[in-house]
Each structure stands twice: as C-alpha cells, then as structure tokens.
Amino acid sequence: MPPVTPPIHLSTTYLRNPDGTYENGYVYSRAGNPNRQALEEQLAELEGGAYALAFSSGMAAIQSLFLALKTGDHLLLPDDVYFNVRLLLDEVMADWGLTYTAVDMTDLQAIEDALQQNTRLVWLETPSNPQLKVTDIAAVCSLVDDRDIRVAVDNTWPTPIHQLPFALGADYVVHSTTKYMGGHSDVLGGALIAKQEDDWAAKLRRIQHVGGAVPSPMDCYLVSRGLQTLRLRVQAQTTSAHQLATFLEGHDEIEAVLYPGLPSHPQHDVAKKQMREGFGAMLSVLVRGDAKRAMSVAAKLQHFAVATSLGGVESLVEHRKSVEGPASATPNNLLRLSVGVEPVATLIEDWEQALATN
C-alpha cells in the first residue's frame, strides 16, 4: 500500500536498465527527482498553469526568467521593485545587455509611454514590497496583448489563495516558496509557473536543468508539506492583518498604514477587483518620526520578531530602508509587518504597548 506521507528521495543518481533506459525517466537529481516533480505539479495546479519549475530560491527563479531574454531586450520594472531584482540586473546581469525602465505600475499611461520596440517583458509585483502599491494586472496585460511582450507577476505576497494572475492575463507567475508556500521559515526555494506551453518552455526547462539552481529533495518535501496548510494559514493571517491594519490606522502615533484592504488605500478598488477572499497578511506602517523612532518601536515589540523575510507562522517586523540601503525609495519611517498566526488581540496589544512607551 502507498504511504500517506510521500517518502523523501535523497538519491542523486538512478540505476540504468540493461538496455540503457531508466525507470520512470529519472537519471540524475539535477535533471529530475520525484519530490521535485510532485512539488512542480502541485504548484502548477494551485496557480492554474501548464507547468511549473522549482528553483533553489525565489531569486534563482527570477534570474532564470530573465535569462530567457536575449541581449538587447528591454523590460519594464515597477519603480518600487524588490531591491534584489534591481541588484540582479545592475550588478549580476549588467553584461548581459538587458535594459530596463522603472515605471509607476499604477499609472497605465506611464507604462504605455515606457514601452519600446524591444520591450519583451513586463515585470509586476502586486502588492509591491514594501509600499504595497497595487497594479491592475488585467489592464496591463490588455495593454500589451497585441505585442510580443510577456507579463510576469510575482505572486509571493497574495499567494494563489488571494490572487490568480493567469486568470487576469499574465503569462508567468513567480514565487519565493521560502515565504507562504513553505510557511515555517525553514526552507529556501522559488518557483516559476507558466500559463501555457510556448516557444519559451523548452528554453526555461533547459535553463533549470543545465543551470542547476534546483532545490534539494528535502527542500521540495518541506514546501510540499507547507502547501497542505497554505489556505488555513493564509486565511487566518489575512484576517488578523486586516484587523491590525484597521487598529493602527486609527492610532495617533502612526502616520499612515499601507494595506490594500483599507478603503484609504489609493488602489483599494483595484485590489477589490483582482484579489479574492481578502487582501493578504502583509502591511507596512509609517511611524510618526524618523528612522530612529521607527526602529525603536520595532525593538519594543514583544510578539513581532525583528527579522528579514515573511510568510511564516510567526509575526515579523523590519525597518526596510536600513536593509535596502540609501538608494532605496522606501520611506525612512516605514516598518514592514508580516502577520503570523498568533491571536490578533495579542498582536494589537503588543503594538499598543510599543507605541505607548516611545
């Protein structure tokens, strides 16, 4: 009888049959592994894609997509793009010959004005990190629909529980599976999911195979295990995040709360249109004062760990500007919150005491 919990296949190589063939097509773990195949099938099904490719990190997934472009190609990025994406293009792929334009992705006219003859990819992050700007995915896809331009969406923050980019017209979805997919801050991984088989499919699979930035069988197992509770965790975290955002918006020591679920959010109507069952478990707050004040508030929180990353069962808080560096457009007084599964009353009380003691 098959086991309820799938086994972990740690072998890096597989026996050949006398005629030179391989059982089940597995040759070498970089090329394929039962745990990775299972994870990729799960990810493709969750996002509604034709196929998925698992990688050793979210950035490895992003880089693999960029590697599918050609020298001289141009891409559009959000003006508040995740800072590591810009570093990847500026510092690692500078000699690749790619060019990019950073655009306010909430402004369709600005996007249209930035398109060039050699634009081949529009990269979207919605809600964005860490300012939670919301891009109208369907409108952007419609804008480039009759051109040879693909649209990719980083769906790490909303997850497929709250947002399905393929249903809105996107061509690719990317995840840092380190975050909500794994869900427990104990595994590093990434994924690239494609809406359909096309002329890039073989290229992307080859980049994964030959480049070798693949997750280990254990990593694949841990992400697959996390997917079993994804909906339960994300729904609980989202409910708490919305309540916490509402509380903080009314606090005198908070200058602004950036959360798409609040009516005060500039793109709240867009978020309502394209997100479902909630608005995610991430929010950012602008503390009254400067960077020192914001970091002091974070340090006084007792149930939010001051640490990088997000999407785990524990609540985290981080001063993003100090992580991203002086070139970052992130406000000095911004704290990014990843809301965990703790009782929301405990989290609200924690913020009350942290703000009251400053």
- The residues that are catalytic are 30, 82, 154, 179
Name the residue with tokens 């690239």.
192
Terminal-to-terminal C-alpha distance of the chain: 61
Pick from 43, 46, 101: which is nearest to 74 by CA? 101
Distance separating alpha carbons of residues 354 and 302, to the nearest angstrom? 8
Tokens of 126: 């919605």
Q: How many CA atoms lie within 13 A of 290 on its CB side?
A: 1
- How many whole angstroms separate alpha carbon 26 and alpha carbon 119? 38
Give whole-number Cα distances, 19 to 15, 16, 22, 31, 180, in Å.
11, 8, 9, 20, 44
Question: Angle at the Cα of 83 (from 274 to 51), degrees rounded to 5?
Answer: 50
